[in-house]
Amino acid sequence: MTAVGPRAVEAKGSHRERKRARTWAAIHLAAAEAAALHDRLADVTVEAVAEQAEISPRTFFNYFKSKEDAVLGQQSPVIHDEIADSFHIEAGDDLVEKVAFLLLAVFRTSVHRLITYSDYVALLDRHPELSRRRLQHIDAVEALVADLVTARLAESQVQDIPLAGHERHTVEETALLIVTVAGAVMRTAMRPVLDLQGGTGGDADSILRRTCALFREVTRP
């Protein structure tokens, strides 16, 4: 199991933050290695992962909700204040692209994969439950984003976006539709985005932007 670059052991911030980052990385890498060595994920125990990472099982759950999350290097998604404060909806916005980038921003804050992409794909192939957990994580990101988009649509002057049939829809329904479409675009871009060290590489933006452009092209009237 190969770690990706110095991010596996280094982080900016205070001594406490750096120590927490190192512990997080140790748990993630220990869990990924254990998953790679076992044919069944059920045989990977939190106790064994904690021992390998030199922590207690109780400490494990201070960092990850489950062993699946530890293997995948993901934590419960949240929308940080700076992301929420910078997201606004204005007339003329390409809402699909704008929300797709919001999804990417939230996804980036909740996934910090420290293993190579080839190792990551091998784990997903080896343990189907990891793929299910990954999709659940993306669903959780989309649910959070839908709440924020609903709030911003309610605040904006463009909440009455015309939809198919020109029927009036609630703000919640409109937000859900936008997020669902943007999520599909995001999922289409996900594979190459993940290939850039968990979507943190600078080129991830251009990959998603090209996917959004492709969506506009194929849906053009």
DSSP per residue over 40-108, as a string?
A: -GGG--HHHHHHHHTS-HHHHHHH-SSHHHHHHTB------HHHHHH----TT--HHHHHHHHHHHHHH
Q: Which of 6, 7, 2, 1 is nearest to 112 (CA)?
A: 7
- Three-state DSSP class for residue 193: helix
CA 121 to chain centre: 16
Cα distances (angstroms) measured from residue 53 to each of 23, 35, 60, 68, 122: 8, 14, 9, 16, 22
Cβ-Cβ contacts under 8 Å for 220 (sequence gap 6 or more)? none
Could you tell me if 99 and 160 are in contact, meaning their C-beta atoms sit under 8 angstroms apart? no
Residue-range domain boundaries for the chain? 6-67, 81-218
Give, for all 221 residues of the chain, the pLDDT tens digit. Answer: 666 654 545 556 788 888 999 999 999 999 999 999 999 999 999 999 999 999 999 999 999 999 999 999 999 999 999 999 999 998 889 999 999 999 999 998 998 889 988 899 899 999 999 999 999 999 999 999 999 999 999 888 664 555 444 455 688 998 999 999 999 998 888 766 555 444 444 478 888 999 999 999 999 88
pLDDT value at position 158? 60
Residue 105: HSE in the Cβ half-sphere, 13 Å Cα cutoff: 17
pTM score? 0.82
pLDDT value at position 193? 56
Structure tokens at 217: 């092209």
For 93, left (φ over 0), alpha (ψ -120 to 50), or beta? beta
**With 0-12 CB in 10 A as exposed, 13-18 as middle and 19+ as buried, what is 78?**
middle
pLDDT value at position 187? 85
pLDDT value at position 169? 67
pLDDT value at position 190? 76
Looking at residue 6, the DSSP 8-state letter turns out to be: G
Could you tell me if 111 and 153 are in contact, meaning their C-beta atoms sit under 8 angstroms apart? no
